[in-house]
Amino acid sequence: MNIINKVRKNTPLIHHLTNQVVMNFTANGLLAFGGAPIMAKEHKEVAEMASIADGVLINIGTMVESELEAMVIAGKKANERSIPVTLDPVGIAATSFRQTSVERLLTEVSFTAIKGNAGEMAHLVNVAWTTRGVDSVDGTVEQLEEIAVNIANKYKTIAIITGEVDIISDGTKIFRNDSGHAMLTKITGAGCLLGSIVTASLAVSDDSLQAAYEAVRFYGLAAEQAIQHEHVKGSGSFIPAFLDELQQ
């Protein structure tokens, strides 16, 4: 049984500590994929939420200082329970607050996977990269592979670098994925939803590298199918078609 079918059979509950811009889209996308979302960032309850979840997603997109403690608590509880934790260091290179927050998360929480664009991931291993806000310029595939391997080895994690070609590595093996469509770059939260879907896939598999690769590839294929819908004229009509394809 492949990873996608396992998600749909088991309906993993994913605890999201994610950014406010994408919560609705992420919840609907994960439901379409076959998982179950829960959104909770109050530090008084996050340990309990993580105690009943099958995986935890930490996304710093719109994080405020009070939420950092909640992310650490949830991440630690997930580590105690040996359930997967995914980090999405959105816009880490943009501000010192984001940088120091991620440094604390990486110090106190062990992440099963870290997912980001080239600029975000390059920052984690001190590689100079061109960024603007939360956006990034892609480099060569060889550069991205080197960054992914370094991140995976440094943080003992699965590194997922998203872009025109996605790179997934555990520090030894490297997978490339070329499925996808440029329309995903026109939708707020497309990368954030991918983090949710990756976490759900990690929750049902003992092979984290394979699970991450299958999740990323499926996500790209869904976009390729969605853009072919006759009624799709732009990003507004693409979104419902994409959600439909995530159910296929």
For 190-237, the pLDDT digits (tens) are: 999 999 999 999 999 999 999 999 999 999 999 999 999 999 999 999
Q: From CA 63, how far away is CA 67, in angstroms rounded?
A: 6
Query: How far, in Å, CA of 61 to CA of 50, rounded?
Result: 20
In the predicted model, what is the mean pLDDT of the chain? 93
d(CA 16, CA 78): 12
Q: How far apart are CA 158 and CA 174, in angstroms?
A: 10
- Its pTM stands at 0.94
Q: Are 112 and 85 in contact (CB under 8 A)?
A: yes
Query: Fold for domain 3-246?
Result: UDP-N-acetylmuramoyl-L-alanine:D-glutamate ligase (3.40.1190)
| pLDDT more than 70, % of the chain | 95
The pLDDT tens digits of the residues spanning 34-75 come to 999 999 999 899 999 999 999 999 999 999 999 999 999 999
Domain spans in the chain, listed from the N-terminal domain onward: 3-246
The answer to whether residues 11 and 177 touch, using CB atoms and an 8 Å cutoff, is no
CB atoms within 10 A of CB 134: 20
- The DSSP 8-state label assigned to residue 175 in this structure reads E
Report CA Rg, the chain.
16
Distance separating alpha carbons of residues 147 and 152, to the nearest angstrom: 9
Looking only at the bridges linking them, the beta strands covering 166-169 and 158-162 are antiparallel
- Percent of the chain topping pLDDT 90: 89
Which residues sit opposite 161 in a β-bridge?
A: 116, 167
